Amino acid sequence: MQIRCPECNTLFKVRASELTVPEARVQCGHCFNIFKPVPEQEIFQLVEEVNTDDIDINTFGDSVDNTSESDELPAVEPEQQPFFSQNPMIDDLVPPKLRQQTETSSSALVTFIWSVGIIALLLIATAQLVYFNRTLLASKTELRPYMFQFCALARCEIADLKDINRIELSSKNVYSHPNVDNALMITAVIVNQAAFAQKYPALQISFTNLVGDIVMARQFKPSEYLNTSEDKLSDMQPGLPVQIILEVLDPGKAATAYEFSFI
């Protein structure tokens, strides 16, 4: 059977067994009005039982014409009825408060999923940025250890940083060896002026004559001019002076000048 809400005129389909309780009350799923249900057919029967013999048709017509718009009942268009008014059992199963809680929980879940997705995209973009700029980032002394850890996880390699043009001689001195005949003692101080640590370069010392021809030249490995073993060599730190001492043969009087160069 059908019942109608006296507040908003929304029709509901209910079972007759649900109206057996004398004081039964129902709540409208559209306007939430609580009322005593009256079957639609009983309303029609009450209208038919009204005695119309004493009604003056002319008077009734005048009263209808004089009825203001505010006295008219609002018409409910079928297409404007909410979904749950067409399906009253859904409204009975999901109370308004529970419906509101479900919508709030769903909204919170969607927000959480979007947040996790955005954070994941930011992490991926950051990892890609670090990967493609790993050499530049590794040039920073304070970041270099972290970049090696990053590449250990990402299975990438960091090229050795090298700029021998930034290695300078702050002082140099050549003199006869105090203990060995026909030998020279060479001392110098080298400084890495680059902003990053780099490997010690090979060092070449050349002796030239008056016209610039090379009389004698020799190359020295880092382990030779630092007087240490290869396995104990570390990187040349930025701005840190390093003293070197070398012993070479005396090229004789033909040599009038000498030159240091890094290779």
Question: Each residue of 108-136: pLDDT tens digit?
Answer: 888 889 999 999 999 999 999 998 888 77
Per-residue model confidence as pLDDT tens digits over 192-211: 998 888 899 999 999 999 99
Q: How far apart are the C-alpha atoms of 185 and 254, rounded to whole Å? A: 18
Region 54-75: what's the mean pLDDT? 48
Per-residue model confidence as pLDDT tens digits over 142-153: 887 888 889 888
- The 3-class secondary structure across the chain, one letter per residue, is CEEECCCCCCEEECCHHHHCCCCCCEECCCCCCEECCCEHHHHHHHHHHCCCCCCCHHHHHHHHHCCCHHHCCCCCCHHHCCHHHHCHHHHHHCCHHHHHHHHHHHHHHHHHHHHHHHHHHHHHHHHHHHHHCHHHHHCCCCCHHHHHHHHHHHCCCCCCCCCHHHEEEEEEEEEECCCCCCEEEEEEEEEECCCCCECCCCEEEEEECCCCCEEEEEEECHHHHCCCCHHHCCCECECCCEEEEEEEECCCCCCCEEEEEEC
From 35-49, 59-73, 188-202, the region with the lowest mean pLDDT: 59-73
Quote the radius of gyration of the chain (alpha carbons, Å). 49
Region 22-45: what's the mean pLDDT? 72
Q: Which pLDDT score, from 0 to 100, does residue 187 have?
A: 92
pLDDT above 60 for 167:
yes
- Average pLDDT over the chain reads 77
202, 259, 212, 178 alpha-carbon torsion, rounded to 10°: -110
CATH 2.70.50.60 spans which residues of the chain?
164-262
Residue 170's pLDDT band (cuts 50, 70, 90):
confident
From 52-61, 74-83, 164-173, the region with the lowest mean pLDDT: 74-83
Q: How far apart are the C-alpha atoms of 140 and 152, rounded to whole Å? A: 18
Residue 193 near residue 239 (C-beta atoms within 8 A): yes
Structure tokens at 34: 């609580």
pLDDT above 50 for 85:
no
Q: Which pLDDT score, from 0 to 100, does residue 38 have?
A: 75
Percent pLDDT > 70 in the chain is: 72
Percent pLDDT > 90 in the chain is: 26
Residue 203 near residue 225 (C-beta atoms within 8 A): yes
CATH code of domain 164-262 = 2.70.50.60
